[in-house]
Amino acid sequence: MATYKQYSNSKGKFWEVKAYLGLDEETGKQVQISKRGFKTKKQAVDYYKQRQNLFDSDLDLQNNSLNVEQLYHEWLDQYKLDVQKSTLRVTMTNFKLHILPSLGKIKIDKLKTRTIQNLVNEWHKRYKKHKEIFNLLKRLMKYAVTMDYIFTNPCDKVIIPKKKIEYYSPSRDRDFYNKDELEEFLRILEKSNKPMWYCFFRILAFTGLRRGEALALTWNDINFKESTLSVNKSLSRGNDGLYIGRPKNESSIRTIGIDQNTLSVIHQWKKKQAQEFLKLGQNLLSSDQFLFRKADINFPINQSAPRNFLYRFCKSNELPMINIHGFRHTHCSLLFESGVPIKEVMERLGHADIQTTMNIYTHVTPQSREKSANKFAKYVNF
């Protein structure tokens, strides 16, 4: 119900309106408006109708704007339709740990660039993957713009710090082996009577497969006649646990060549695995058996098993410690060192674009840098 009243002041005659719009669903309080300065009663009536319509359709910005956490849950319903379970799990973890605790209760129309900038600066000091966290927030706010909840994205003007920070790492300063280190690692591992692990790490080092890709290998992925290995699935972790899904991207689906020594290692493990499971009364004739499977069911060993074994093995043998992904770095570095063209490296590793290969895998050994310098000096010859 609205009331209108005409009043006068030194500037002339004007109209004012006072009205009760309804109850705020969040607070339970009455929402009322009062505005003066209309030159005609019609202007006052039109204003009231506009505000009442906004209130009735839940579009009143002051009382009905979403906060960041509410927007996140709405956006997540759409986002989960486009990504794999493993990606969804990482995204949800980043929001839960880094974004929502600081910004969750802020209304999206009140979220300022300055607030985000301060948070990004703090992320930069603490987290190596601060850009990844920021990009998730930026994507969320872009959704808010697309849905017409806000007019501009407050993340657009945020400055990402460029200064490099030395983040603490329990491993050494480079996360890959050079040729001699890899040779020593595999030599000791071969003699340790751990045939499954020797096969697993030989595959990582000589093919550049990701951990999930290697753990998801089945025997029908190995073509002993053609000396090839097919990558067509990956072991990943979602909110409901481990599952076999598609590789990281379309370019990750690939068939790569295997050298004869590595192929021989794989063949020896196949025979050894069959012998071990035959003792348990299991016949492994099916081609869909996993190379690195559990004893009781045909499903890959846990994702953490390779890391745990690697840590214990390197520590007990006093070997340099790298993480599992470091073997992919190692393979890439040695490919470059051996002179393989970058296009072939990109395809072998299953990268979506050549920039990824250049940005992430520019690790070259001192021997390779020296070799490049000598090649250049020999070429120019002056």
Please check whether residues 344 and 199 belong to one and the same domain: yes
Please check whether residues 354 and 207 belong to one and the same domain: yes
Between residues 327 and 176, which one has the greater pLDDT? 327
Please check whether residues 73 and 7 belong to one and the same domain: no
Q: Domain tally for the chain?
A: 3
Please check whether residues 235 and 340 belong to one and the same domain: yes
Residue 43 belongs to domain spanning: 2-56
pLDDT digits (tens, 9 = 90+) for 254-271: 999 999 999 999 999 999
Please check whether residues 270 and 250 belong to one and the same domain: yes
Give the pTM.
0.59
Please check whether residues 270 and 137 belong to one and the same domain: no
pLDDT digits (tens, 9 = 90+) for 121-162: 999 988 888 899 999 999 999 999 998 888 899 999 999 988
- Of 85-94, 306-315, 334-343, the range with the lowest mean pLDDT is 334-343
341 pLDDT above the threshold of 90: no
According to the model, what pLDDT value does residue 292 have? 94
Last residue of a domain, one of 15, 34, 56: 56
Please check whether residues 106 and 229 belong to one and the same domain: no
Please check whether residues 81 and 199 belong to one and the same domain: no
Q: Is residue 307 part of a domain?
A: yes
Please check whether residues 8 and 123 belong to one and the same domain: no
Pure H helices in the chain: 41-56, 61-64, 68-79, 85-94, 100-103, 113-126, 130-146, 179-191, 195-207, 211-215, 260-279, 304-316, 326-337, 342-349, 354-360, 366-380
pLDDT digits (tens, 9 = 90+) for 22-57: 876 666 678 888 989 889 999 999 888 888 877 776
